[in-house]
Amino acid sequence: MTTTSGTTGGEPTDGSGTTLRVTVCELTAAGPGEPAWTALAAGLRDTRTELLVLPEMPWAPWLAAAPAFDPGAWRSALAAHDEGVRSLPALGVPAVVSSRPVERAGRRRNEAFLWTERDGYRPLHLKSRLPAEDGFWEQVWFDPGPEPAATGAGHGPAVVAAAICSELWHFERARTAGRAGVNLLVTPRATSAGWTERWLLAGRAAALSGGAFSVSANRAAGDGVESGFGGCGWIIDPDGEVLGRTSAAEPLVTREIDLGAAERARATYPRNLVGPGTG
């Protein structure tokens, strides 16, 4: 894995304390110790990253490929993600954002989380918008969560909120999060290769509408039901400029971003529009 770095808009770091090194990736489903996970860990060693974004539910085969619920596969995925979360300290990264399957009070959910060395596992929200189509039978496997609060969780200068995969298309989430002070909108994805450029467009639109950085990681093509995933993680600035994107040749990309750019962007068009719901 190779790593590149840079600053937003080519501007130098000003020492104001608002910069953050962020790494995004494309990754096949892999548990700790498996080759893809070992390669990810090796690629992170020299990045000095402060926040890593992983794909949607990264530690088990894609559950929603099957149109019928399988209790055994569900239990295996829960166990795999328990192990995956426990493995995060070994990466040597201060913070990680991803999602994982959870079951609480008899309901199956897809939960976004922020894990940090200091605070451990912190739930962000439960995925509320679930597709139901070939290869993505999420309405079969999961119960939708409530509409998440607009506010984010803090990590250093970052105020982090998540839009899990299909939730990215609900642009009101980006707008309300931006108004609440979120400067880093994180999207763990499991998206197909045929829609890669459309997803990148959605990331740019979310960044522009919310005045926040859009950062995303995606599942990469693997074997069997995993073969259709399209990779392409990205880092996009609040004006919609793509600062970096991953590829099969470069599955790990790091950028140093100035989160102060988000605050400045929110004072400009189209984030400063006034009207119903903008107070």
For 75-107, write each residue's pLDDT tens digit.
999 999 999 999 999 999 999 999 999 999 999
Residues composing the chain = 279
Question: What integer pLDDT is reported at residue 17 of this predicted model?
Answer: 78
Higher-pLDDT residue of 279, 267: 267
Structure tokens at 75: 């239990």
Q: pLDDT (tens digit, 9 = 90+) per residue, 106-161?
A: 999 999 999 999 999 999 999 999 999 999 999 999 999 999 888 899 999 999 99
- Overall pTM surpassing 0.85 (yes/no): yes
Q: What is the pLDDT of residues 259-277, one digit of tens each?
A: 999 999 999 999 999 877 6
What's the Rg (C-alpha) of the chain? 17
- The pLDDT > 70 percentage for the chain reads 93
Burial of 94 (0-12, 13-18, 19+ CB in 10 A): middle
* Average model confidence (pLDDT) across the chain: 93
The confidence score (pLDDT) of residue 149 equals 87
pLDDT value at position 260? 97
- The residue type found at 124 is L
Per-residue confidence band for 15, with pLDDT thresholds at 50, 70 and 90? very low
Query: In this model, does residue 13 exceed pLDDT 90?
Result: no
List 257's β-bridge partners, or say none: 20
**pLDDT reported for residue 276:** 75
Q: Where are the alpha helices (DSSP H) in 46-144?
A: 71-87, 138-141
Asked whether residue 238 carries a pLDDT value surpassing 60, the answer given is: yes
* C-alpha distance from residue 90 to each of 69, 94, 219 (Å): 33, 10, 21
Single-letter amino acid, residue 133: E
Architecture of domain 8-265: 4-Layer Sandwich (3.60)
| Beta-ladder partners of 132 | 137
Q: Is the pLDDT of residue 240 over 90?
A: yes
pLDDT tens-place string over residues 194-225: 999 999 999 999 999 999 999 999 999 999 88
Interatomic CA distance for residues 29 and 49, integer angstroms? 22
pLDDT at residue 1 greater than cutoff 70: no
24-79 pLDDT, tens digit each: 999 999 999 999 999 999 999 999 999 999 999 999 999 999 999 999 999 999 99
pLDDT at 3: 37
Phi (first) and psi of residue 53, to 5 degrees: -105, 125
Residues in Cβ contact with 159 at an 8 Å cutoff, skipping those fewer than 6 apart = 151, 152, 153, 181, 182, 183, 184
What are the domain boundaries of the chain? 8-265
**pLDDT for residue 248 is more than 60:** yes
DSSP code of 62? Answer: -
Does the CA dihedral 179-181-184-185 come out positive or negative?
Answer: negative
Q: Say what the pLDDT of residue 150 is.
A: 85
The contacts of residue 20 (CB under 8 Å, 6+ apart) are: 50, 51, 156, 157, 158, 184, 256, 257, 259
Q: What is the pLDDT of residues 180-195, one digit of tens each?
A: 999 999 999 999 999 9
